Amino acid sequence: MSLRLGDTAPDFTANSTAGKINLYEYLGDGWGILFSHPADYTPVCTTELGTAAKLKGEFEKRNVKMIALSVDGIDSHHGWVKDINETQQTEVNYPIIADEDRKVAELYDMIHPNANEKLTVRSVFIIGPDKKIKLTITYPASTGRNFNELLRVIDSLQLTADYSVATPANWKHGEDVVIAPAISNEEIPAKFPKGHKEIKPYLRTTPQPNID
């Protein structure tokens, strides 16, 4: 069965480029992003893993640990990492799981027979500190992931987890947010002292509450 938003992310222990790793122990009480790749030495994934490495600092600012997965073996992974480092001018600085038996791929429903009976699709799972799935995205093999969008989504997830707000279309950190419909106008001054704008009774905006 496919994992849905709000489901508990399955725990696992697997070999990786950083040695044996247990997902829950690795994430601790922070956030996590797990992203899969169909196979080693694939061109689009090479650019993705390099981009992720360059953005590790941005993920760390958000208390998010990265972990990747491919169904090839550990020796293949280590060879691929050398290519990634060379071609993307970076150093891969997070674990890549070796999932030869497809144990993790099956746990996370990463194999879609209509796309390919053997290889994982390119999935993304964002996991909260409560080990619940907060976001899933599945990309086709031909389209590289937008890691800046993943950072934007994490900003939104972390903000909306702590405040009674939602983020509008194309929202970026620092921009106004939408007040949740469950919040009455009478409650707004106490909850959102920066003030608010009522565009419609159901559409009220306020400056992002967690920044000065």
- State the DSSP H helix or E strand holding residue 104, giving kind and residue range, or none if neither: helix 103-107
Per DSSP bridges, beta strands 197-200 and 203-206 are antiparallel
* CB contact set of 61 (below 8 Å; sequence gap of 6+): none
SS3 83: helix
The residue annotated as part of the active site, out of 45, 98, 105, 153, is 45
Please state, in angstroms and rounded to a whole number, the distance separating the CA atoms of residues 9 and 134. Answer: 9
Question: Does 108 participate in catalysis according to the annotation?
Answer: no
Tell me if 56 sits within 8 A of 49, measured CB to CB.
no
Phi/psi of residue 23, nearest 5 degrees: -55, -55
CA dist., res. 136 & res. 153, Å (int) = 11
**How many CA atoms, within 13 angstroms, populate the side-chain half-sphere of residue 137?**
17
Residue numbers annotated as active site = 45
